[in-house]
């Protein structure tokens, strides 16, 4: 073995970056224990479905306008770590205000601030994970799956604690406990060196001029609306059907656990398929899944349907992240992921939450999922149609090149 190879092997053995990132993904998504239980917490405080949907989605809407700013600052300053630390600190402070609030106005203000600061950290962590895995020859999904694992474990534990011992009023204690480990791990994280030219406002032009990527973001918005509606309203739908607080936790844990195999395996095979065709297929699977939710009244069937996340959301998210990474320049990785999160968490979030809350209040929970099925079917047709148009353009361009020979 050469001296150079020995140094490289030693570097791999002492490189703990991926281990740290796996831990951060695990605990960052564990802090999302709030999402499935907050609607139940708000319902216990007497708020209506419409009010809950609005509260859960106003923060993501406002985050829409600042999401790319955090990504730009990260790319421009060459640091994810410091910006994430700032966002997490402000998130924790906002949560203290949230759980101390008693009226609707203060509660709305603090839950908005909480999500406003917490949500941007997700694409930033995805960005540094993508850079780290690419440099070390690993797949993004092999690290991201730890996020689903963390979400699963904490939801199970949290559901049991809230359902059998503490009650939903003690949600704050579980949420704050999940922050201890990620804050420690963040200090061990190293910023990944940027590839390509230094980020600048001038370098944003490729995104603004990339019609394919902008069209892609529009399609992501359409398919994300019903999914984000489900994220906000399912916990209420399940409890109204007779499910317990503990079942709420277990149902979301099942969804997260079902995603793990997809995150672990799919990244290795994405290069073999066209992304738009795969997302179109996912849209059709979403259609059948949402129809099943609309038809059933049994909470245990609703619980079982959560496993459908394995072939819907997990496949969808890995594919859209993969497409975003491939279509944009390397130095725009954080910005691209922020724009993707802006659409999914922000625009689609406020739209889905508002529509879902209104439908729940005026036409019942089943109407939400009928709407979701219709939108998903339409999105699938658009994705398939877009791929057909793109293929014809590629064939036309190839024929022109051949004719010039």
| Of residues 231, 248, 227, 226, the one with CA closest to residue 239 | 248
CA 47 to CA 95: how far, in whole Å?
A: 19
Average pLDDT over the chain, rounded to whole?
82
Q: What is the mean pLDDT of residues 160-168?
A: 78
CA 292 to CA 290: how far, in whole Å?
A: 5
CA 265 to CA 90: how far, in whole Å?
A: 35
Res. 375: pLDDT tops 90: yes
Cβ–Cβ under 8 Å, residues 310 and 318: no
Q: Across the chain, how many H-helices and E-strands are there?
A: 19, 0
CB within 8 Å of 85: residues ≥ 6 apart: 186
CA 296 to CA 176: how far, in whole Å?
A: 36
CB neighbourhood size of 234 (10 A): 25
Cβ–Cβ under 8 Å, residues 296 and 302: yes
Q: What is the mean pLDDT of residues 312-325?
A: 86
Q: Is 397 exposed, middle or buried (0-12, 13-18, 19+ CB in 10 A)?
A: exposed
Question: What does the pLDDT read at residue 48?
Answer: 83
Question: What does the pLDDT read at residue 72?
Answer: 75
Q: What is the largest CA-CA distance in the chain?
A: 76
Cβ–Cβ under 8 Å, residues 155 and 36: yes
H or E element, residue 90? helix 81-100
Cβ–Cβ under 8 Å, residues 133 and 15: no
Q: What is residue 386's three-state secondary structure?
A: helix
Question: What does the pLDDT read at residue 222?
Answer: 93
Give residue limits of the domains in the chain. Answer: 16-190+209-404
CA 151 to CA 131: how far, in whole Å?
A: 23
As a whole-number percent, the residues of the chain with pLDDT over 90 amount to: 23
Question: What does the pLDDT read at residue 9?
Answer: 45
Q: What is the mean pLDDT of residues 101-109?
A: 89
CB half-sphere exposure, 61, CA atoms < 13 A: 14
Helix axes 313-327, 211-240, angle to 10 degrees: 160
pLDDT in tens, 30-84: 888 878 888 888 888 888 877 887 888 777 777 767 777 787 787 777 788 889 9
Range with lowest mean pLDDT among 120-124, 185-189, 376-380: 120-124
Q: What does 93-154 look like in DSSP terms, one character per residue? A: HHHHHHHH--SHHHHHHHHHHHHHHHTTHHHHHHHHHHHHHHHTT--HHHHHHHHHHHHHHH
Q: What is the mean pLDDT of residues 94-112?
A: 90
CA 50 to CA 64: how far, in whole Å?
A: 21
Rg (the chain; Cα; Å)? 21
Q: What is residue 56's three-state secondary structure?
A: helix
Where are the strands (E) in 220-355, listed by range? Answer: none
pLDDT in tens, 330-363: 767 667 777 787 788 778 887 888 888 888 888 8
Q: At the fourth CATH level, which superfamily is domain 16-190+209-404?
A: MFS general substrate transporter like domains (1.20.1250.20)
Estimate the share of the chain in helix, then strand, then coil, as percent rounded to the nearest 5. Answer: 85, 0, 15
Highest average pLDDT, of 319-323, 342-346, 378-382, 390-394, comes from: 378-382
pTM for the structure as a whole: 0.72
Q: What is residue 405's three-state secondary structure?
A: coil
Question: What does the pLDDT read at residue 230?
Answer: 92
Sorting pLDDT into bands at 50, 70 and 90, what band is 13? very low
Q: What is residue 312's three-state secondary structure?
A: coil
Question: What does the pLDDT read at residue 6?
Answer: 39
């Amino acid at each position: 073995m050469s001296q150079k190879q020995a140094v490289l092997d030693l570097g791999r053995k002492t490189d703990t970056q991926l281990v740290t990132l796996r831990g951060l993904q695990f605990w960052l998504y564990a802090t999302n224990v709030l999402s499935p239980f907050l609607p139940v917490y708000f319902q216990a405080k007497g708020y209506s479905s419409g009010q809950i949907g609005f509260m859960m989605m106003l923060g993501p809407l406002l985050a829409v306008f600042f999401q790319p700013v955090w990504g730009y600052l990260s790319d421009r300053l060459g640091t994810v770590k410091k910006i994430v630390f700032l966002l997490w600190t402000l998130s924790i402070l906002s949560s203290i205000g949230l759980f101390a609030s008693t009226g609707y106005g203060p509660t709305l203000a603090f839950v908005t601030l909480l999500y406003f600061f917490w949500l941007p950290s997700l694409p930033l962590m995805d960005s540094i994970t993508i850079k780290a895995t690419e440099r070390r020859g690993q797949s993004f999904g092999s690290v991201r799956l730890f996020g689903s694992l963390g979400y699963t474990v904490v939801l199970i534990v949290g559901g049991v604690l809230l359902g059998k011992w503490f009650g939903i009023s003690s949600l704050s204690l579980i949420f704050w406990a999940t922050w201890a480990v990620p804050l420690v791990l963040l200090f061990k994280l190293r910023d990944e060196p940027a590839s390509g030219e230094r980020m600048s406002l001038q370098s944003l032009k490729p995104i603004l001029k990339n019609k394919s990527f902008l069209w892609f973001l529009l399609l992501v918005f359409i398919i994300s609306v019903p999914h984000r509606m489900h994220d906000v309203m399912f916990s209420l739908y399940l409890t109204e059907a007779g499910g317990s607080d503990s079942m709420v936790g277990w149902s979301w844990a099942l969804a997260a656990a079902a995603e793990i195999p997809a995150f672990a395996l799919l990244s290795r095979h994405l290069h073999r398929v066209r992304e738009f065709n795969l997302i179109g297929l996912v849209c059709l699977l979403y259609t059948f899944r949402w129809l099943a939710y609309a038809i059933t009244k049994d909470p245990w069937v609703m619980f079982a349907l959560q496993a459908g996340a394995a072939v819907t959301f997990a496949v969808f998210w890995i594919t859209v992240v993969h497409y975003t990474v491939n279509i944009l320049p390397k130095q725009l990785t954080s910005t691209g992921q922020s724009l993707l999160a802006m659409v999914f968490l922000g625009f689609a979030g406020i739209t889905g939450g508002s529509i879902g809350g209104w439908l729940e209040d005026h036409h019942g929970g089943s109407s939400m999922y009928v709407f979701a099925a219709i939108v998903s079917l339409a999105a699938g047709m658009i994705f398939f149609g877009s791929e057909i148009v793109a293929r014809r353009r590629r064939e036309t361009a190839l024929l022109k090149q051949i004719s010039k020979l």
